[in-house]
Amino acid sequence: MSAPDVPGAAHLAARIDAAPPYRSGVPTITDVAALAGVSPMTVSRVLHGGKNVRPDKVKLVTDAVATLGYRRNENARSIRPGQRTGLVGVIITNVSNPYYAEVQQGIEEVLSAEEMRILVGNSGDDVAKERALVDDFVGRQVDGLIVVPSSGGELDGAGAGGAEHLEAVQLARIPLVLASRELPGIHADTVLIDDVTGAYEGAKRLIAEGHTRIAYIGNLVSVFTSRRRFDGFTRAHEEAGLTVDPLLVRAGPNDSAAARGAMLDLLGLEQPPTAVFSANNRNTVGVLRAIVDAGLDPRAIRIIGFDSVELSDVMPFDLSVIDHDARELGRTAGRMIVDRSSGIPRSAPARIVELPTRLIVN
Amino acid sequence: MSAPDVPGAAHLAARIDAAPPYRSGVPTITDVAALAGVSPMTVSRVLHGGKNVRPDKVKLVTDAVATLGYRRNENARSIRPGQRTGLVGVIITNVSNPYYAEVQQGIEEVLSAEEMRILVGNSGDDVAKERALVDDFVGRQVDGLIVVPSSGGELDGAGAGGAEHLEAVQLARIPLVLASRELPGIHADTVLIDDVTGAYEGAKRLIAEGHTRIAYIGNLVSVFTSRRRFDGFTRAHEEAGLTVDPLLVRAGPNDSAAARGAMLDLLGLEQPPTAVFSANNRNTVGVLRAIVDAGLDPRAIRIIGFDSVELSDVMPFDLSVIDHDARELGRTAGRMIVDRSSGIPRSAPARIVELPTRLIVN
DNA sequence: TTGTACGCGTTATCAG
DNA sequence: CTGATAACGCGTACAA
């Protein structure tokens, strides 16, 4: 097996030995070129549309591609300057919330039409994890980033409290879109739900029905949307000359279990509320569960919930919802990325879009 | 501004001119090296743990990294042989189905713990789109692929009907995991729900309750799981000495709208069923809606549905569900990828895991 | 302990 | 119309 002393043969053996054992069998453009009997450059041209290549060579190449099962290495391609990766990083807090699943669907719908793909990460509403994901995605040379910002960072009220990683993204001139939530100090394309108006109209409706003691369940401390919704809730009260009873405001919950606890607590008050405003779909689920668990007649209390809840219209509760189009929110975010990465210059001012809500009374 | 004739200065100017205009400002390892006054190699070493580098140089480098905001280019890194990308392609039919959203969540949970990221695409149950996604993901050098196979390809009953793209994945020695559905002719790690047993127990329960005319709603033509569920459904009938009335089997629907139509149709029969078995959560939603739309008393008909439906236990229907852990299915798929890409050899026989179901009677 | 040389797969540039 | 060359950012092998 050792190379004989014949120069030519030795050279060949060396080439074979050099045929790297690590070459995992995945064919490269060079393999295609060799099989087709052309240069790699010609193969590249054919792959890019075959402009300015003789038809017979085109056929040679396409055949070689087919027999070898060749696929372009997108990563190698993208290290060259000026080449896009076609990758967009998507960071959401939690896909198992149907709302965010719907947002992701909308994003994917728009981007896949542009042959772009999404890298998805769940932050779990944890700023540290969000930061790690951003770093990773940037390292993978994404063409854009869509983020539902984690709420944790807002706690300290500082400028862009804990959002330096997103500032860095902008410094690197990577298009950034904030979805569903704004972030103080970060000036980026943003798509929101019109939380204030939606909540205002929901609360107004309850007040019109005669309710004066309306509870509010939603995390006002750290969740941007919940604070906005509370603003609308409060405004409706003010307009009607009512005041919001602080005892009826449960500012903690942001998941169904916590909301259930808060609701059970409210039901145990000396003077319980006659209606409840729930700040999001997870909380609404918790509220409903509390009512059932407390053994109450499901219609004993009026409920209005932000976001939709599947089958809310057939449930035995006195439940209305403030609905909106989560998928359209995702689509809008996707379009913003597409616009920025072609078309609209990076330096154009940030756009802020607010999507409407629709009150569905049951 | 033109370079003077002083050799040294000219050289410098040349370097500056050479500083490519396309260099989009993103710092590279070379920039870090220059700022730190070391070679790129030393920077690389520091980034990989700083073993065998003098502490002062380590500091120099880490400082330079910090001031420049340097991040390693993962794509450039991955083109070298033997380097993993840490990317896993995930192809699901539709994330807006809460079941698949949950699966994705499970996958992400396991993989992100290994510092791996997911590329997600929706196939919309379209084999052509699935194929395109597979091609794209393979081109991006994913370390593995998790696929909920589209059903379209099974129509022609041929060997691996329309699944050649998945065979190709295996030929390229990329770990492949099938989730939720099997594919004839494809021999890969697979994680399924124990559909047969789950459906069997559900149907058995209805029969034990005295029902003999039980309708079945689910797409038997193209959906693997639905066929398996029908098997269990049938077996329970046989065991009880009953036969399934073909008139009560609606083999078409695979979404809530179609299921609603089928259910309305069933309700209009001369001899309507006294119970319904719905093959998945989308269908269950349609069934419930049909009952409400038909103006029936929600409790007029017994329903059992595969998959869970949120708040099924508090709804005013006579609804039981055959529940299972979708997130665990996702986790299992993720673990299979991790195992194959390290640990377990690629050549080890395919593993098939069936996760249990749980009948929740309401 | 540190640096040099080279190659990974691809494509822009330029020469033929 | 075609091909040789160089370069993208990084890491391995080897040399100093």
Q: Is the CB of B344 under 7 A from strand D?
A: no
Q: Angle A241-A245-A246 (CA atoms, 0-180°, nearest 5)?
A: 135
Q: What is the pLDDT of residue A164?
A: 84
Task: Label residue B339 exposed, middle or buried (CB < 10 Å: 0-12, 13-18, 19+).
Answer: middle
DSSP string computed for A100-157: HHHHHHHHHHHHHHTT-EEEEEE-TT-HHHHHHHHHHHHHTT-SEEEE---SGGGGG-
Task: For residue A22, give the nearest of B72, B81, B118 by CB distance.
Answer: B81
Task: Point out the residue nearest to D9 (C-alpha to C1').
Answer: B76
CA closest to B119 among chain A residues: A119
Q: Is the CB of B212 under 7 A from strand D?
A: no
Q: Is the CB of B173 under 7 A from strand D?
A: no
Q: Whats the size of chain A, residue-wise?
A: 362
Q: Is the CB of B26 under 7 A from strand D?
A: yes
Per-residue model confidence as pLDDT tens digits over A62-103: 999 999 989 999 999 998 878 899 999 999 999 999 999 999
Higher pLDDT, B148 or A11: B148
Q: Is the CB of A83 under 7 A from strand C?
A: yes
Residues A6, A175: Cα–Cα separation, whole Å? 60
Contact indicator for A103, A148 with CB cutoff of 8 Å = yes
Q: What dihedral do alpha carbons A330, A331, A336, A342 form, nearest 10°?
A: 130
The verdict on a CB contact (< 8 Å) between B108 and A120 is yes
Q: Is the CB of A350 under 7 A from strand C?
A: no
Q: Is the CB of B50 under 7 A from strand D?
A: no
CA pseudo-torsion sign B94, B97, B103, B108: positive
Q: What is the pLDDT of residue A100?
A: 95
Residues 280-299 of A with CB under 8 A from B: 285, 288-289, 292, 298
Q: Which residues of A touch B26 (CB under 8 A)?
A: 172
Q: Is the CB of B40 under 7 A from strand D?
A: yes
Q: Which residues of A touch B298 (CB under 8 A)?
A: 314
Gap from B15 CA to D7 C1', Å: 15
Task: Point out the residue nearest to C3 (C-alpha to C1').
Answer: B39
Q: What is the pLDDT of residue A23?
A: 52
Q: Which residues of B touch A173 (CB under 8 A)?
A: 24-25
Task: For residue A96, give the nearest of B20, B105, B122 by CB distance.
Answer: B105
Bases along strand C below 7 A from a protein CB:
1-5, 7-13
Q: Which residues of A touch B115 (CB under 8 A)?
A: 136
Per-residue model confidence as pLDDT tens digits over A13-48: 333 333 444 455 688 999 999 999 999 999 999 998
Q: How far is B83 from chain A (nearest CA, A)?
A: 10
**pLDDT bracket for residue A141 (50, 70, 90):** very high
Residue A73 at interface with chain B, using a CB cutoff of 8 Å: yes
Residues B201, B34: Cα–Cα separation, whole Å? 69
The verdict on a CB contact (< 8 Å) between A94 and B105 is yes
**pLDDT bracket for residue A169 (50, 70, 90):** confident
Q: Angle B354-B359-B361 (CA atoms, 0-180°, nearest 5)?
A: 170
Residues A261, B328: Cα–Cα separation, whole Å? 27
Residue B46: how many CB atoms within 10 A of its CB?
A: 22
SS3 letters for chain B? CCCCCCHHHHHHHHHHHHCCCCCCCCCCHHHHHHHHCCCHHHHHHHHCCCCCCCHHHHHHHHHHHHHHCCCCCHHHHHCCCCCCCCEEEEEECCCCCHHHHHHHHHHHHHHHHCCCEEEEEECCCCHHHHHHHHHHHHHCCCCEEEECCCCHHHHHCCCCCCCHHHHHHHHCCCCEEEECCCCCCCCCEEEEECHHHHHHHHHHHHHHCCCCCEEEECCCCCCHHHHHHHHHHHHHHHHCCCCCCHHHEECCCCCHHHHHHHHHHHHCCCCCCCEEEECCHHHHHHHHHHHHHCCCCHHHCEEEEECCCCCHHHCCCEEEEEECCHHHHHHHHHHHHHHHHCCCCCCCCCCEEEECCEEECC
Q: Which of B232, B284, B295 is nearest to B262 (CA)?
A: B284
Higher pLDDT, A314 or A129: A129
Task: For residue A79, give the nearest of B79, B138, B292 by CB distance.
Answer: B79
Q: Is the CB of B80 under 7 A from strand D?
A: yes
Q: Is the CB of A79 under 7 A from strand D?
A: yes
Residues 26-55 of A with CB under 8 A from B: 26
Best B111, B167, B314 residue to mutate vs chain A (most A CBs within 10 Å): B314
Residues A63, B77: Cα–Cα separation, whole Å? 31
Best A90, A126, A131, A311 residue to mutate vs chain B (most B CBs within 10 Å): A311
Q: How far is CA A148 from CA A85, A156, B242, in A?
A: 22, 19, 53
Q: What is the pLDDT of residue A343?
A: 75
Residue B74 at interface with chain A, using a CB cutoff of 8 Å: yes
The verdict on a CB contact (< 8 Å) between A75 and B72 is no
User: What are residue B118's DSSP bridge partners?
Assistant: A120, B88
Per-residue model confidence as pLDDT tens digits over A226-239: 999 999 999 999 99
Q: A-B interface: how many C-beta pairs under 8 angstroms?
A: 166
The verdict on a CB contact (< 8 Å) between B122 and A108 is yes
Residues 140-159 of B with CB under 8 A from A: 140-141
User: What are residue B147's DSSP bridge partners?
Assistant: B91, B178
Write out the two tokens for B78: 């991955």
Residue A128 at interface with chain B, using a CB cutoff of 8 Å: no
Contact indicator for B97, B306 with CB cutoff of 8 Å = no
Residues A332, A338: Cα–Cα separation, whole Å? 10
Task: For residue B311, give the nearest of A73, A109, A288 by CB distance.
Answer: A288
Contact indicator for B236, B258 with CB cutoff of 8 Å = no
Q: What is the pLDDT of residue B14?
A: 36
Q: Which residues of A touch B104 (CB under 8 A)?
A: 95, 120
The verdict on a CB contact (< 8 Å) between B171 and A69 is yes
Across all residues in chain A, what is the average pLDDT? Answer: 88
Q: What is the nearest nucleotide to B80, using C1' and CA?
A: C8
Q: How far is A22 from chain B (nearest CA, A)?
A: 6
Gap from B32 CA to C3 C1', Å: 15
Residue A309: how many CB atoms within 10 A of its CB?
A: 23
Residues A98, B99: Cα–Cα separation, whole Å? 10
Higher pLDDT, A299 or B6: A299
Gap from A61 CA to C3 C1', Å: 42
Contact indicator for A129, B124 with CB cutoff of 8 Å = no
* pLDDT profile of chain B (362 residues), mean per 10: 33 37 71 91 89 87 91 92 92 93 97 96 93 94 94 51 80 90 90 97 97 93 87 97 95 90 94 95 94 92 93 90 97 96 81 96 88
Higher pLDDT, A172 or B325: B325
Task: Label residue B225 exposed, middle or buried (CB < 10 Å: 0-12, 13-18, 19+).
Answer: buried
Residue B98 at interface with chain A, using a CB cutoff of 8 Å: yes
User: What are residue A117's DSSP bridge partners?
Assistant: A87
Q: What is the pLDDT of residue B161?
A: 61
Kindly give, in sequence order, each residue whose CB lies less than 8 Å from that of residue A246, ignoring residues fewer than 6 positions away. none
Q: What is the mean pLDDT of residues A254-276?
A: 94
